[in-house]
């Protein structure tokens, strides 16, 4: 019997609807997504045996669209070439968020979960990881270099917020499965950048989750994250005009990103939302 091979991968960006998409696709009867969300296989510099990767997709239940939501994949500049070499027919999914809006969500999430990227807004906004995540042209260019444009679907977070049903339908059409499916999560906000009730507790939970993922318990971590009681325990409602929004505005993140928007449009073959130009 031939190996069941994945045929799609979401490569980025984080904080741009990837958790929502993971939940939505998980509900579709003809789509299989890796139960641990991201396998991290193509996110690392040293690839393991391809057989280990294929084992993640061994029990797909007959689904025709098979893949994973691996939102840090595009940070590894070797990923596009490696994916193309192993799976030349792979379909590439990506969703991008307005740079200032993305930066605000990212540093709120980091603040609640880890001190790895800094303790203050200024430290997080200056961190190399955020700089890399905001280099949309540099992140997307390798995929358009190694894959035909027809195999790449780039969407915008604005589209998800405006019309989640149409947003999902476009993805399902791209994956060539039933596009009129309405998941239970359709109108929900998943994994929002909320405030930590107790930062020490959320930092501990995040660190423990990372350790469990490395030990192969990623599916358990995803299951636990989706329990409403866990969310109520760890998080308070987000602030409407948060410290992160103010910090990003003062740092001029959106203005600094403007010169790269023309380059991004030339690479992906579609215009960014008009709001990006006036942010």
How many percent of the chain have pLDDT more than 70?
Answer: 81
How do residues 157-169 score in pLDDT, each as one tens digit?
999 999 999 999 9
Look at residue 98 and tell me whether its pLDDT is greater than 90.
yes
In a domain, 32, yes or no: yes
How do residues 218-253 score in pLDDT, each as one tens digit?
565 565 666 667 666 666 766 655 899 999 999 999
Identify which of 245, 152, 160, 153 has the alpha carbon closest to the alpha carbon of residue 195: 245
Q: What pLDDT sits at residue 204?
A: 65
Cα separation of the two ends of the chain = 53
Cα within 13 Å of Cα(48), Cβ side: 10
Overall number of domains in the chain: 1
In a domain, 197, yes or no: no
In a domain, 84, yes or no: yes
Domain carrying residue 158: 8-99+135-189+268-278
Q: Rounded to whole angstroms, how far apart are CA atoms 141 and 264? A: 8
Cα within 13 Å of Cα(185), Cβ side: 18
CATH of the domain at 161: 3.40.50.300
In a domain, 228, yes or no: no
In a domain, 129, yes or no: no
Q: What pLDDT sits at residue 84?
A: 98
pTM, entire model: 0.85
Tokens of 130: 């955020």
In a domain, 57, yes or no: yes
Are 99 and 254 in contact by the 8 Å Cβ rule? The answer is yes
DSSP-assigned beta bridge partners for residue 33? 67
Q: Rounded to whole angstroms, how far apart are CA atoms 245 and 259? A: 21
In a domain, 174, yes or no: yes
Are 19 and 190 in contact by the 8 Å Cβ rule? The answer is yes
How do residues 40-73 score in pLDDT, each as one tens digit?
999 988 888 999 999 999 889 899 999 999 999 9
């Amino acid at each position: 019997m031939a190996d069941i091979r994945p045929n799609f991968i979401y490569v980025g960006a984080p904080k741009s609807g990837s958790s929502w998409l993971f939940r939505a696709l998980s509900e579709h009867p003809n789509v299989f997504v890796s139960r641990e969300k991201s396998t991290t296989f193509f996110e690392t510099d040293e690839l393991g045996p391809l057989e280990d990767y294929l084992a993640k997709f061994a029990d797909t239940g007959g689904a025709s669209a098979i893949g994973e939501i691996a939102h840090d994949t595009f940070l590894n500049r070797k990923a596009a070439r490696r994916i193309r070499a192993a799976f030349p027919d792979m379909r590439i999914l990506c969703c991008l968020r307005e740079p200032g809006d993305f930066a605000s969500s990212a540093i709120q999430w980091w603040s609640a979960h880890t001190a790895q990227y800094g303790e203050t807004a200024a430290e997080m906004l200056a961190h190399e990881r955020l700089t890399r995540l905001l280099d949309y042209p540099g992140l997307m260019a390798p995929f358009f270099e190694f894959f035909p444009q027809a195999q790449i679907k780039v969407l915008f977070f604005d589209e998800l917020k405006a019309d989640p049903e149409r947003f999902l339908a476009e993805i399902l059409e791209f994956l060539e499965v039933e596009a009129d499916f309405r998941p239970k999560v359709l109108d929900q906000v998943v994994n929002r950048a909320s405030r930590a009730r107790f930062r020490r507790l959320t930092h501990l939970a995040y660190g423990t989750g990372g350790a469990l993922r490395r030990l192969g318990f990623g599916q358990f971590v995803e299951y636990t994250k989706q329990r409403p009681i866990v969310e109520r325990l760890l998080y308070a409602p987000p602030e409407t005009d948060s410290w992160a929004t103010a910090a990003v505005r003062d740092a001029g993140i959106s203005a600094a990103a403007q010169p790269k928007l023309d380059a991004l449009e030339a690479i992906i073959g579609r215009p960014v939302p008009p709001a990006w130009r006036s942010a």
